[in-house]
Amino acid sequence: MKALVYGGPGQKEWKDVPRPELDKQTDAVVRILHTTICGTDLHILKGDVPAVTEGRILGHEGIGIVEEVGSGVSNFKPGDRVLISCVTSCGRCSYCKRQLYAHCEDGGWILGHLIDGTQAEYVRIPHADNSLYPLPEGVSEEALLMLSDILPTGFEIGVLAGQVKPGDTVAIVGAGPIGMATLLTAQLYSPGRIIMVDLDPERLALSRQFGATDTINSGEENAVEALFAMTNGVGVDVAIEAVGIPATFDICQKSIAPGGHIANVGVHGKSVELHLEDLWIRNITLTTGLVSTYSTPMLLQTVQSGAFHPEKLITHRFALEDMMQAYEVFSNAAKEKAMKVLISADA
Ligand SMILES: [Zn+2]
Ligand SMILES: [Zn+2]
């Protein structure tokens, strides 16, 4: 089969590799129908994630058809259409018992990281009963693909960890795919205002279409001052960091209102300066996390009910064999006006 294979920092190739086979009785092999590229894949290609070794097939998002299951798999059978979760969970360990699937002792984020991933014609999914979801009827597969990673990540680590409540003023710093997923799912809780902060006017315009009430271009004005001006000098109730650099974290900690919540979603490669000398007296909380995807069943129902349309995040479409071109576009997201790229096998 063909797959996108990591060859060390800066190196990748779409090439022939052996098709995956069942390894344990709890595995399934899934034929990929749709996959996509995540910002994390670009981090891996830069060499920021050294646990990923040469020869690894990348990708942790996908929709597919079950090809084969081990004798220990009871929820799925060949021919079933499934959503692949970016997080693998055994369902039995102490972390899984607390729904902290991100830290599963025999899973967590392993796809396209510690084991071969979804940017391929076929993928092996361990603990298939807990790590796959049946596709609901009548919902576009393009919408459901956004539930592998970005929607549960934005929802669990941004909206739920940030405790967004009706009427709240929420700032989302970063209007990339994760920021947009946070924007879409925050609206389930009816905040009073959602203020999107980014450097890219195109992305800010798009965020208004997706429900942002206000936008701040942090390249043109001081974002912290603008956030205070918009809130009568109080600050925001929830500040969600969706970039992963010191400057964006700083906007969050400087604009938070007393009693507010800072939810960090971004992947940080550098240390940030935490201003506890200002924050200690403000009764704020700061949360971090890797998605556990415990909210996936709820998000599946919300998408099925038509509460929001995550397929709107897809800006570009490619065939599986054009994987390298899809990477080219996604790597130049600003220039290409790309948000999420859909990569599909022939039907
Ligand atoms: Zn991802
Ligand atoms: Zn587990």
User: DSSP letters of 52-65?
Assistant: SPTTPBP---EEEE
Phi and psi at residue 289, to the nearest 5°: 165, 160
Is the CB of residue 333 less than 8 Å from the CB of residue 170? no
pLDDT value at position 32? 98
- Determine the distance separating the centroid of ligand 2 and the alpha carbon of 52, expressed in angstroms: 21
Whole-prediction pTM: 0.95
- Determine the distance separating the centroid of ligand 2 and the alpha carbon of 126, expressed in angstroms: 11
pLDDT value at position 137? 86
Q: Which ligand is nearest to the CA of 130?
A: 2
Q: Which ligand is nearest to the CA of 90?
A: 2
Q: How far is CA 71 from CA 74, 76, 81, 131, 187, in A?
A: 8, 11, 19, 16, 42
pLDDT value at position 347? 61
Q: Is 205 helix (H, G, I), strand (E, B) or coil?
A: helix
Q: Which ligand is nearest to the CA of 42?
A: 1
Q: Which residues of 121-141 are buried (b: 16+ CB within 10 A; e: fewer)?
A: bbbbbbbbbbbbbebeeebeb
User: Which protein residues have a CB closer than 5 Å to ligand 1 (ion)?
Assistant: 38, 40, 149
Q: Which ligand is nearest to the CA of 39?
A: 1
pLDDT value at position 108? 97
Per-residue pLDDT of the chain (347 residues; tens, 9 = 90+): 999 999 999 999 999 999 999 999 999 999 999 999 999 999 999 998 999 999 999 999 999 999 999 999 999 999 999 999 999 999 999 999 999 999 999 999 999 999 999 999 999 999 999 999 999 988 999 999 999 999 999 999 999 999 999 999 999 999 999 999 999 999 999 999 999 999 999 999 999 999 999 999 999 999 999 999 999 999 999 999 999 999 999 999 999 999 999 999 998 888 999 999 999 999 999 999 999 999 999 999 999 999 889 999 999 999 999 999 999 999 999 999 999 999 999 86
Kindly state the helix (H) or strand (E) to which residue 179 belongs, with its residue range. Answer: helix 177-186
* Domains of the chain with CATH codes: 2-148+310-344 (3.90.180.10), 151-287 (3.40.50.720)
234 alpha-carbon distance from chain centroid: 31
Q: Which ligand is nearest to the CA of 26?
A: 2
Q: Which ligand is nearest to the CA of 290?
A: 1
Phi and psi at residue 143, to the nearest 5°: -65, -45
- Determine the distance separating the centroid of ligand 1 and the alpha carbon of 231, expressed in angstroms: 33
Residue appearing with tokens 């990339």: 176
- Determine the distance separating the centroid of ligand 2 and the alpha carbon of 236, expressed in angstroms: 36
- Determine the distance separating the centroid of ligand 1 and the alpha carbon of 150, expressed in angstroms: 6
